[in-house]
């Protein structure tokens, strides 16, 4: 039975939704405001969220943005419910990354149809992929078809390394993420002409070399084949598309990288949030011709997002973080650069 969270401040509307959804065999939980809705979403992990926009205190936009910061709730389908049918409001909701937007009063069948569509799509996207080269190809295919990533490289060929062969050296600039299709690879740090203790051992189905890519640094380790291995090198551009462009596929890709290890998954999620902020900051600086000085350039959000290729919700979260740091001022449809030096420091931190 699917669990649906209803966040609605009007008691009558909340109770009506609760009754309707229970009659349709959904398990329903509800909250009367945004703050308690966030707490309930984190605690209950619903399969879908219905949320009013205009609520006292924290509105629906803030609820969506806050839940998007948490890896355990960021991929939950989110449908806005509102009495406001203004095109600007609808556009704002969809720009944030909401999955759907229904205006009150709505037909029951329209609501139920929207819920069914989103739950079905979410179910398909949650299906696990085998940790094999064939599984990786299936993931890439689905990312192209469902995630809006048609330019992803087709993983059609593997690269072979003999036992003892070095895949990459420490201090090299990373150009690929590596998927290990067969064999074993170790990452280690040579010290004073000798090999230090093995840092990390990777076996079939593992990914390696991604931390330096995310952090924008050179490799800190050397990667060596312990036996004959086959790897698929995923180009850097593909790697960043998978991490940044689509919220759902970003979370799924992080899960693949972390191999379902929760602590590693949380660390990667934080690293990707920092990468997103750095990417947005760099794009703002690039679009400002005199960004070496403090000044007040204004750039449209549409221009930045079209260049940055970042999922809508993640894009908004990064902008709000930069706004909170007072490096920029975030408006309804534009960004004003307040402090280029601070923005540069945040991008290179």
Same domain assignment for residues 248 and 271: no
- 238 and 278 in a single domain? The answer is no
Q: Same domain, yes or no, for 267 and 254?
A: no
200, 233: one domain = yes
Let me know whether 22 and 104 are in one domain.
Answer: yes
CA end-to-end span of the chain, whole Å? 45
3-state secondary structure of 191: strand
The two three-digit tokens of residue 339, written as one number: 């402090």
Do 188 and 100 belong to one domain? no
Domain that holds residue 97: 3-125
The per-residue pLDDT string of the chain (349 residues; one tens digit each, 9 = 90 and over) reads 899 999 999 999 999 999 999 999 999 999 999 999 999 999 999 999 999 988 988 989 899 989 988 888 888 999 998 876 666 666 666 666 678 888 888 888 999 999 999 998 888 777 788 889 999 999 999 899 888 888 888 888 899 999 999 999 999 999 999 999 999 999 988 764 555 555 789 999 999 999 999 988 999 999 999 999 999 999 999 999 999 988 888 888 998 898 867 788 888 988 888 899 999 999 998 887 654 444 557 888 888 878 878 888 888 889 989 999 999 998 878 889 888 889 988 888 7
Cβ atoms of 207 and 155 closer than 8 Å? no
Shared domain check, 140 and 112:
no
Within the chain, residue ranges assigned H as helices are: 11-23, 34-44, 60-68, 87-95, 108-125, 133-146, 210-215, 236-244, 247-258, 262-287, 301-308, 312-324, 340-347
Nearest-angstrom CA–CA distance, 97 and 313: 5
Task: Report the CATH number at residue 40.
Answer: 3.40.50.2300
- Shared domain for 17 and 109, answered yes or no, is yes
Query: In the 8-state DSSP scheme, what is residue 198?
Result: P
Identify the domain boundary among 108, 125, 142.
125
**133 vs 138: CA distance, rounded Å:** 9
CA 64 to chain centroid, in Å, comes to 13
Q: Given 92, 125, 158, which residue is the final one in a domain?
A: 125
How many domains is the chain partitioned into structurally?
Answer: 3
- Residues 121, 165, single domain; the answer is no
CA distances from 299 to 209, 275, 310, 312, 319 (A): 35, 21, 17, 17, 12
CATH code of the domain containing 239: 2.60.120.10
pLDDT at 192: 45
DSSP string, 35-77: HHHHHHHHHH--SEEEEESS-SSS-HHHHHHHHHTSTTTTTS-
- Name the domain boundary from 227, 258, 289: 258
CATH code assigned at 284: 1.10.10.10
Query: Quick one: which of 335, 349, 331 has its CA closest to 285?
Result: 335
110 and 50, same structural domain? yes
Specify whether 151 is located in the same domain as 55.
Answer: no
Q: Is 57 in the same domain as 147?
A: no
* Residue 234, pLDDT score: 95
Among the listed residues 153, 133, 127, the one whose alpha carbon sits nearest the alpha carbon of residue 249:
127
CB distance 81 to 52 below 8 Å: yes
Q: How many CB atoms are closer than 10 A to CB 341?
A: 12
């Amino acid at each position: 039975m699917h669990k649906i969270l209803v966040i609605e401040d009007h008691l009558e509307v909340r109770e009506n939704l609760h009754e309707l959804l229970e009659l349709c065999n959904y398990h329903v939980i509800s909250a009367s405001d945004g703050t308690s809705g966030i707490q309930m979403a984190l605690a209950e992990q619903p399969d879908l969220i219905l949320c009013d926009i205009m609520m006292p205190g924290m509105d629906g936009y803030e609820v969506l943005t806050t839940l998007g910061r948490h890896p355990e709730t960021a991929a939950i389908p989110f449908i806005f419910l509102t009495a406001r049918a203004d095109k600007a409001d609808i556009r704002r909701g969809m720009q944030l990354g909401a999955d759907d937007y229904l205006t009150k009063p709505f037909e029951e069948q329209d609501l139920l149809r929207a819920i069914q569509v989103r739950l079905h799509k979410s179910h398909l996207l949650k299906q696990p992929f085998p940790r094999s080269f064939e599984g990786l190809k299936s993931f890439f295919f689905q990312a192209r078809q469902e995630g809006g990533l048609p330019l992803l490289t087709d993983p059609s060929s593997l690269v072979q390394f003999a036992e003892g062969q070095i895949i990459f050296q420490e201090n090299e600039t990373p150009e690929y993420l590596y998927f290990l299709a067969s064999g074993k690879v170790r990452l280690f740090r040579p010290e004073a002409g000798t090999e230090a203790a093995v840092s990390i051992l990777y076996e079939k189905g593992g990914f390696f070399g991604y931390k330096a890519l995310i952090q924008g640094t050179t490799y800190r380790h050397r990667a060596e084949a312990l036996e004959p291995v086959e790897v698929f090198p995923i180009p850097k551009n593909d790697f960043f598309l998978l991490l940044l462009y689509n919220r759902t596929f970003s979370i799924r890709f992080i899960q693949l990288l972390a191999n379902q290890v929760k602590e590693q998954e949380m660390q990667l999620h934080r690293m990707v949030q920092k990468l997103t902020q750095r990417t947005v900051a760099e794009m703002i600086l690039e679009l400002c011709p005199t960004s070496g000085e403090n000044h007040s350039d204004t750039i449209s959000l549409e221009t930045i997002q079209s260049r940055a290729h970042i999922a809508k919700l993640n894009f908004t979260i990064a902008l709000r973080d930069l706004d909170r740091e007072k490096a920029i001022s975030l408006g309804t449809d534009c960004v004003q650069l307040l402090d280029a030096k601070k923005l540069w420091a945040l991008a290179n931190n």
